[in-house]
Amino acid sequence: MKPIKTATILWTLVAALSAAPLLCAQEHPLAKVNATAKASAIQIEMIQARDVSLPAEFQVALYENLIQEMQKEGGFPEVYRDGDRNAAGAPELVILHTTVTGFKQGSELKRDVTTVGGATSITVLCQFTDKEGKVLLERSIDGKVRLIGDNLKATDDFAKKTAKLTAERFTPDRNDSDSDSAILR
């Protein structure tokens, strides 16, 4: 009886351990799709602010900083702007749609004087899709300036974080083992 019980428990354990990663993968369908996606170029669409009152300079600064950071750190050989006709011929193109979901304009003066108040923060919903509109990755990323710098510096913070995420998820030379570990996280 003992060997049979031990064998049953062992097999149950093995089965459970094998199923766990599969279950985790099902919980993160976007990450799974993203992990297998190949991308050689990215097109960045203009920042949208449908329900948030966002000053024009913040909208443009978000867009321009995002493009600059993508060119520097995003890991894509080609970065296209919104409306660029050359993007149509790019293979394995990823399109980044961004919508501002939260914005709090702080005060540089208040930051200087109090050092704790007056922070500026922006929250942006980033949606990476392929040409057909299939969502590859969706994340909410924020940008903040808490102490030193003008309010527009928050857009720089957001751009750096987004470029870092993109480099991690869409580097074309990524191997499969890295992809698997990304799913498990």
| Binding interface with another protein (CB under 8 A) | 46, 48-57, 59-61, 63-65, 80-86, 108-109, 112-113, 148, 150-152
Q: How far is the CB of 159 from another protein (least distance, A)?
A: 11
Q: How far is the CB of 146 from another protein (least distance, A)?
A: 14
Other Cβ atoms less than 10 A from the Cβ of 125: the count is: 15
Q: Closer to another protein by CB, 24 or 60: give it.
A: 60
Q: Closer to another protein by CB, 37 or 163: give it.
A: 163
Q: How far is the CB of 172 from another protein (least distance, A)?
A: 22
Q: Closer to another protein by CB, 46 or 165: give it.
A: 46
Q: Closer to another protein by CB, 35 or 100: give it.
A: 100
Cβ atoms of residues 100 and 122 within 8 Å:
yes
If you ran DSSP here, which 8-state letter would residue 45 be given?
P
Q: Closer to another protein by CB, 99 or 171: give it.
A: 99
Q: Half-sphere exposure of 117 toward its Cβ, with a 13 Å CA cutoff?
A: 5
Q: How far is the CB of 40 from another protein (least distance, A)?
A: 18
Q: How far is the CB of 56 from another protein (least distance, A)?
A: 4
CA dihedral 81, 155, 74, 168 (to 10 degrees): -130
Amino acid (1-letter code) at residue 9: I
Q: What is the distance between the alpha carbons of residues 113 and 26, in angstroms, rounded to a whole number?
A: 49
What Å distances lie between residue 124 and 10, 97, 113, 143, 180, CA to CA? 47, 10, 28, 8, 27
